[in-house]
Amino acid sequence: MRFFDRKVGCLCTSAARLHSCLRTQGFYTAHGENALYIARTFYKTTSVLRYYGAAGNRQQEQKHQQGQLASVSLNRHLFESALRELLLEGAEHCVEVYEGTGASWRLAK
């Protein structure tokens, strides 16, 4: 989980909101606060979120607060639409895309 908290080589200004996405096998994923933001902004629901970490029967909104990592998947079309909106219509956003598998990820874009 520490990977998602780092901002490695970011060209963002300090006022910009950083969004990190992982690209694997033709789809994209976002995690943590980025996943919550994408779910609420582009899906208009948090029901698309999956949570990783300690198991339990808590409500979805409480899961994030209890130390679980929120995750959301985006197909290429939705990712491109979200990217367009974040970068062209909202100057306060910065996006990083990582590629890789397992424990080996590198900043791609």
3-state helix, strand, coil in the chain (%, to 5): 30, 35, 35
Phi, psi of 80 (to 5 degrees): -65, -40
pLDDT digits (tens, 9 = 90+) for 3-36: 444 444 455 555 567 777 888 878 888 888 889 9
pLDDT of residue 102: 77
Tell me the pLDDT band of 1, cut-offs 50, 70 and 90. Answer: very low
Q: What are the sequence ranges of the domains in the chain?
A: 15-107
CA distance 101 to 108: 13
> Which numeric CATH code is attached to 15-107?
3.40.1170.10
Place of tokens 């096998």: 25
pLDDT digits (tens, 9 = 90+) for 34-84: 899 899 999 999 999 999 886 544 455 555 556 788 999 999 999 889 888
